[in-house]
Structure 1
């Protein structure tokens, strides 16, 4: 039997999407540090221009911290109706080249162009054509990663940002991964990266040197994924119908907390992070969950499903506070809290309207 053809996958990622739209629509903002969001005491940055990123301003950063890092930062109120409209234009361009599209958010998606609709011979040329069409149609730049699997394509899209593209071929894939720091790997968050570093795992080569048994001992059910990506392996297909089931954020405190006001402040920060994603993706759930790790590392969760969607920041704040307050007064310190929204429901029969 013939072997299956090597897949050609492109990860397209718009460059500083929200901020770039604002700079496009208001020429006075071009070349200046711009943050999309609100400069309120409990506000967060939804997106930052590259000029702002030079000062260390990034998405999900508290607004007060962003202003400390960049006093000249210009805050612009989000216009999600405009971002969704531009996202529709981008989706339509993708559909000119392939029907196999997996949106990840308003500003990024995987495309399987193994059999592209334009009969372009290479994935590299296809990515260039897509980026050119986006620029022509929207006036915005996009970056692209091209490879034979999703993991490598997503990593590759960061290599030539902004307004560039990079390809990882089957011949170079495994060796390229070995040279990268594990903190860059999709699926390895800051906490896991620190744990890996404590185990002497700094690079992909270090990760590849560890046995599956070792990884299972330290990382449990995630071990097989880490074992595979250290070798540049990822067999997940581009899935046009993938549905995100939850959105969550958590933080570990510098010290164990017992004061309700301090604990609540941590919960509110996490609710802010989660709401930023929900608002960006325009996806809302009915169930709020608060996760707690106590000083003795025991874990607790408090969860409640609501009859109506949690479709505003205020509703998520209230739901999260009600859940954490159910454990007060605390008999021992709290070292970590997390907030998650799940049980999503959208207007598109349960599918996330990320490009709709």
Structure 2
């Protein structure tokens, strides 16, 4: 992967590439990108955990939520999960859907990783589902969409540009090579598009403040909302609203790497070997939805959301003294999703609705 990035930098005007271009290669290169590698990325043997791999209860709660959404709009039950990972969430939703006897559900998986595609195929055997390697591929056979689009930890992995405010001007932080061929950062004057985005969503940054600019996300969201005719868009992720981006802990930006469950502060280390992620600009997501008649109907912490949607109803009476019994494991998993120090405290749920009236 490093050789591919070096070659790209050498051929780039000025000898540098944007962080967005770097992330696109490091994460999504068809041969050497992190998400294309034939290895575990999620869970104990991977680099990070997700809520959906903590317990099947997570997907079970969402199954009831999805059914309510379909009923509210009176549309066919078609659910499209973008970035489905290893299929754990899809299986838990479909299992609960079947257990509850809900109307037939067609589950569409958008997942580019061949490794994950194989795992999904094994998990969803016997269910009604289909897979596409990209949203564009799905859109080519489905020109307009009526249903629910779901993305869990999707937006945080989209490529971002990086800017830094100096006392005089806004600079873009780019990726270049030093004399020994190692990756390093350089700063150039930010172009009009980057400056306009910062002015729109953040106003003036403080001198020395670094921030990610999600131009790729904004473009991708526009195409998504335009494609949807009627339905809901659901994003589960971690991010900030405008005021929170002023907090001291994100003064130097939020772009990080994760490798074997360790936080890597230098995003340029281990390209292609580790996950790269940055916090979501929720104001940008909300505004993009509004522009296409898909306003936000829910925005809250995952912890609050799960409690409101009845996750405690899934607790089971302990019928065994064995702490490793299925009942004990399930109850521990539920607690791990709602406790104050749980993963859910740091995640937000954003739900947007497009009813076709706009």
- TM-score bucket (shorter structure): under 0.3
Q: TM-score, normalised by structure 2?
A: 0.22
Highest relative contact order (Cα 8 Å, sep 6+), 1 or 2? 2
